[in-house]
Amino acid sequence: MTSYRVWAVPGLPEVQPGDDLAKLIAGAAPELTDGDVVLVTSKIVSKAEGRIVQAQDREAAIDAETVRVVARRGALRIVENKQGLVMAAAGVDASNTPAGTVLLLPEDADSSARVIRRGLRDTLGVEVGVVVTDTFGRPWRNGLTDVAIGAAGVRVLDDLRGGQDAYGNPLSATVVATADELAAAGDLVKGKAAGLPVAVVRGLPHVVTAHGEGEGEDQDGGARAMVRVAADDMFRLGTSEAVREAVTQRRTVREFTNDPVDPGAVRRAVAAAVTAPAPHHTAPWRFVLLESAGSRTRLLDAMRDAWIEDLRRDGKSEESVAKRVRRGEVLRRAPYLAVPCMVLDGSHTYGDPRRDAAEREMFTVATGAGVQNFLVALAGERLGSAWVSSTMFCRDVVREVLGLPAEWEPMGAVAIGRPAGAPAERAERDVEGFIAVR
């Protein structure tokens, strides 16, 4: 198929709550035929379904429809709404509706599309596809366009993976958003202020499913199939929200999968670590990355032996020694280890024990800030971590096994890997309990 035609449907009346949209569309477009795609602006669907609410304060209506704030800049909010759509203002619209009211999006736009499709089949005897559209802005692009928020009888995604391009190259990532392309085509002829809320695309019958194909909830996800799930969404949050999310989602992970860790991700986390504040314009951080199983085993075996010796020297029973060693095995269960170290290059010596102790504390705090940056950045890479203090108790052993300079002071070890399960919910803490105001 090399061509298609798209036109707006004139003659539709002002839609009122309770109106049968299929009958209104059939009356205005009796020429509909099999294989057409009917594009319906969500605003008239919302009106017909009574999604008009009294709201002197649009912001309160947005709050009520919001599940999650994705990004915020001034008064503008990009949010995930109850329908799972990520968009500005949760889709709450105060235009083309009486003063003091706002329009909410259809509760289930896929269901709305199915109702319209069945109605057109019953009224006109035609098999058409139906797409419910709304206006979206898009990441990385200026301007607005219509996209599909509901669909019935339409192949919303055209999965070309496994095929070949014109040069015989395999297609491995190409999934075309057909329903969005249809919605955008219709928007060219509907217009935002022309009072033409319905358009028809003719000449693309291959995008329309046959009667009974994908009609049921179980067979066809409708436009919902186009919403990227959280696990696959690389841009789930705005900048400031992503920083807060990474900080709050950082957890101590003690069980890891066997999946290999991307060394590049760890190096990006180190790059974040070395942006931490430090005294005297110094850089007190060093990170030893144990990327081979052999290096990890040699270090952990030597540390275990030193620890057992210390515990026995402390008079611990063999049972107590074995129990403590088992508790410390989190590092051995991780597929990747990093040993952060502190160096005191650039530190000042005052000859005053009090001031010298404070100087060392400043460097220790700076090292901790770097490690915190490191852990948060790992969380941003979807890597779990556990910061374990054990290397601080056997620094000589660590330096000897890893061949580190004498001035490098190991400050624990970080176990890194893909979490084996979802982290436990963190108990809420009353922030006021950590604040003193003077």
pLDDT tens by residue, 57-78: 788 889 999 998 888 877 788 8
Cα four-point dihedral sign 73, 179, 150, 199: positive
pLDDT tens by residue, 281-306: 999 999 999 999 999 999 999 999 99
Q: Report the pLDDT averaged over residues 346-371.
A: 94
Residue 338 · residue 390 · CB < 8 Å: no
pLDDT tier at 338, thresholds 50, 70, 90: very high
3-class SS letters over the chain: CCCCEEEECCCCCCCCCCCCHHHHHHHHCCCCCCCCEEEEEHHHHHHHCCCEEECCCHHHHHHHHEEEEEEEECCEEEEEECCCCEEEHHHCECCCCCCCEEECCCCCHHHHHHHHHHHHHHHHCCCCEEEEEEEEEECCEEEEEEEEEEEECECCCEECCCCECCCCCECCCCEECHHHHHHHHHHHHHCCCCCCCEEEEECCHHHECCCCCCCCCCCCCHHHHHCCCHHHCCCCCCHHHHHHHHHHHCCECCCECCCCCCHHHHHHHHHHHCCCCCHHHCCCEEEEEECCHHHHHHHHHHHHHHHHHHHHHCCCCHHHHHHHHHHCCHHHHCCEEEEEEECCCCCCCCCCHHHHHHHHHHHHHHHHHHHHHHHHHHHHCCCEEEEECHHHHCHHHHHHHHCCCCCCEECCEEEEECECCCCCCCCCCCHHHHCCCC
Q: Report the pLDDT averaged over residues 397-424.
A: 94
Q: CB atoms < 10 A from the CB of 132, how many? A: 30
pLDDT tier at 195, thresholds 50, 70, 90: confident
- Domain-wise residue ranges, the chain: 5-51+106-232, 239-434
Residue 1: its pLDDT value, please? 55
List the structure tokens of 137: 């802005």
Residue 221: its pLDDT value, please? 65
CATH code of 239-434, in short, is 3.40.109.10
Q: CB atoms < 10 A from the CB of 238, how many? A: 18
Q: Collapse the DSSP code of 370 into the 3-class scheme (helix H, G, I; strand E, B; otherwise coil) and give the result.
A: helix
pLDDT > 80? residue 327: no
pLDDT > 70? residue 37: yes
Q: CB atoms < 10 A from the CB of 4, how many? A: 14
327 vs 415 pLDDT, higher one? 415
Q: Report the pLDDT averaged over residues 321-336.
A: 86
Strand order in the sheet with 5-8: 5-8, 198-202, 37-41, 129-138, 141-152
Q: How far apart are CA 264 and CA 268, in angstroms?
A: 6
State the DSSP string of 130-156.
EEEEEEEEETTEEEEEEEEEEEESB--
pLDDT tier at 192, thresholds 50, 70, 90: low
Out of 67-81, 211-225, 327-341, give the one with best mean pLDDT: 327-341
List the structure tokens of 93: 């619209």
pLDDT tens by residue, 101-125: 899 999 999 999 999 999 999 999 9
Residue 5 · residue 201 · CB < 8 Å: yes
Residue 134: its pLDDT value, please? 95
Written as one letter, the residue type at 240 is S
pLDDT > 50? residue 218: no
pLDDT > 80? residue 310: yes
pLDDT tier at 27, thresholds 50, 70, 90: very high
Residue 59: its pLDDT value, please? 86
Q: Report the pLDDT averaged over residues 311-337.
A: 88
Residue 77: its pLDDT value, please? 87
Give me the residues paired with residue 138 across strands.
Answer: 141
pLDDT > 70? residue 215: no
Burial of 289 (0-12, 13-18, 19+ CB in 10 A): middle
Residue 435: its pLDDT value, please? 92
pLDDT > 70? residue 212: no
Residue 72: its pLDDT value, please? 83
What is the CATH superfamily name and number for domain 5-51+106-232?
CofE-like (3.30.1330.100)
- Residue 167 neighbours by CB under 8 Å, 6+ apart: none
Residue 216: its pLDDT value, please? 44
Per the listing, tokens 């900048």 go with 239
pLDDT tens by residue, 139-174: 888 999 999 999 999 999 987 777 777 777 777 667
